[in-house]
Amino acid sequence: MRVLNLPLLLWVMLHPVVVEAATFAVDTTSDNDTLTACTVAPGDCSFRGAALRAQNAALAPGDDLIQFAIPAATDPNCNAGSGVCTITLTGAMTVAMTTATQGGLTIDGYSQPGASANTLAVPAGTNAQLRIEIAGSELTLQAPITLRGIAFGGPLTIERIGGFCCGTDPGSGRYEIEGNYFGLRADGLTPSAVPGILLHISTSSGNVDGVRIGGELPAQRNVFGSNGGSTTSTECLRLTGTHHQVHGNLIGTDRSGMLALGCTTGILLQGQAIDIGGSGSAQGNLFAGHHDRAISISGTQTAGTVKAVIQGNRFGVAVDGSTPLPIGTRNVNSNDLPMIRGDNTASVVRIGGSTPAAANLFAHAGLGRPPLPS
């Protein structure tokens, strides 16, 4: 006859085990996916290994956290002088959190020693100090994500996975992309020569809803840049899905906001109900230096919806509001519109608004073409 330990059983029932979200500290630039121990021992936790641990972590409330503690003085892929460490992905990498109850993932580049977020208020560039670069092959994130403090020298794709995604309301914060550089090295000045798309919000595995790119706070400002040469990125951003917010970013410049480093197109907008800028004092984006156009709009639209609201942005100038950084500098059709252009699909796009704060500034269209009115 089995004898039950009733006091122990009662204690377990009254004191359920709480599984907490996990923290993994990357301590090497190696791309070796077997480095998954992630203990206090040196060199046992690669970025790829930490991501695998996060994917396989027990179901727990809250986000798992990937931090960085790479010894810049001794790691072979770090610059001991600048403190910048480069993780080169030797093959495509996908990070997938498979169920809604598994929680999301925070990847915090500002945890690396020497890194710090931007403190400059608009109108200004950014004084963020980034110490982690992720270069090489494409990185795909299929998880509710907070992503900050990384210089991406390779393409980044955000996707949905399983039966869940993001939030049900705009700006719910399930996807937060803030304080990063895209297409630039960690100095914010040197282009990484990324062909293709720098940041792609993709619906290839289902609708993605409510991604916030940038934000109103100085620390949330992203910078998107390209090299303007034969490997110019085709798009700084490609947006599919719904209810995304693009606020307070520099799109087509260096970190200072004074030097043009444009893509072929700043934003290819294929989604719906997307806010690009806004009437808030720090919601507007700066578009500069793009070779064809700043914003290209395409794709179908659901009846009764507004495809995009474009407000409070500056086009064709530096952050000082006057230095020309022309858009549409490539020899395209003379009838083309270098600032905002839609295809032949019927779409409702609101540009500007009824208040001064909603007005966009358009200036210095390329090839001597006149600027568009506000």
Report the percentage of the chain scoring pLDDT > 70.
Answer: 81
User: Domain range holding 324?
Assistant: 21-368
Percentage of the chain exceeding pLDDT 90: 67
* Residue 361: closest CA among 308, 318, 298, 309: 318
- C-beta of residue 285 within 8 angstroms of C-beta of residue 251: yes
Radius of gyration of the CA atoms of the chain, in A: 22
Confidence of residue 167 (pLDDT cuts 50, 70, 90): very low
Tokens 């089995």 correspond to 2
Q: Which residue type is seen at 216?
A: E
Q: What is the pLDDT of residue 305?
A: 76
3-state secondary structure the chain: CCCCCHHHHHHHHHCCCCCCCCEEEECCCCCCCCCECCCCCCCCECHHHHHHHHHHCCCCCCCEEEEECCCCCCCCCECCCCCCEEEEECCCEEEECCCHHHCCEEEEHHHCCCCECCCCCCCCCCCCECCEEEEECCEEEECCEEEECCEEECCEEECCECCECCCCCCCCCCEEEECCEECECCCCCCECCCCCEEEEECCCCCCCECEEEECCCHHHCCEECCCCCCCCCCEEEEECCECCEEECCEECECCCCCCECCCCEEEEECCECEEEECCCCCCCCEECCCCCEEEEECCCCCCCCCCEEEECCEECECCCCCCECCECCCCCCCCCCCCEEECCCCCCEEECCCCHHHCCEECCEHHHCCCCCC
Residue 165's pLDDT band, with cuts at 50, 70 and 90, is very low
How many CA within 13 A on the CB side of residue 359? 9
Rounded CA-CA distance 174/140 in Å is 16
Whether 2 maps to a domain, the answer reads no
pLDDT band per the 50, 70, 90 thresholds, residue 342: confident
pLDDT digits (tens, 9 = 90+) for 49-68: 999 999 887 556 678 999 99
Any domain includes 243: yes
Q: Check if the beta carbon of residue 344 is closer than 8 Å to that of residue 299.
A: no
User: Looking at residue 242, what is its pLDDT?
Assistant: 92
47, amino acid identity: F
Domain assignment of residue 10, yes or no: no
- Check: CB of residue 371 under 8 Å from CB of residue 327: no
Q: How many CB atoms lie within 10 A of CB 7?
A: 8
**pLDDT score of 11:** 46
Of 104, 97, 90, 103, the residue nearest 47 (C-alpha):
90
> Which amino acid does the sequence have at 352?
G
Query: Residue 51 class from Cβ within 10 Å (0-12 exposed, 13-18 middle, 19+ buried)?
Result: buried
Q: How confident is the model at residue 163 (pLDDT cuts 50, 70, 90)?
A: very low
Q: Which residue has the higher pLDDT, 130 or 174?
A: 130
- pTM comes to 0.89
- Integer Cα distance of 145 and 153 in angstroms: 19
pLDDT at 315 over 50: yes
- Whether residue 346 has pLDDT greater than 80: no
- Give the number of domains in the chain: 1
Q: What is the mean pLDDT of the chain?
A: 86
Q: Is residue 291 part of a domain?
A: yes
Is residue 363, in this structure, part of any structural domain at all?
yes
Query: Residue 88 in contact with residue 158, Cβ under 8 Å?
Result: no
Whether residue 372 is predicted with pLDDT greater than 50 in this model: the reply is no
Q: Residue 122: inside a domain, yes or no?
A: yes
Question: What number of other Cβ atoms are within 10 A of residue 206's Cβ?
Answer: 16
Residues 6 or more apart whose CB falls under 8 angstroms from that of 82 comprise 186, 187
- Residue 195 or 38, more confident: 38
Residue 220, pLDDT above cutoff 90? yes
CA pair distance 168, 60, nearest whole angstrom: 21
Phi, psi torsion values for 367, nearest 5 degrees: 60, 30
Mean pLDDT value of segment 35-56? 96
In a domain, 266, yes or no: yes
Is the separation of the CB atoms in 338 and 294 below 8 Å?
A: yes
Q: What is the pLDDT of residues 60-91, one digit of tens each?
A: 667 899 999 999 999 999 999 999 999 999 99
Would residue 74 count as lying in a domain? Answer: yes
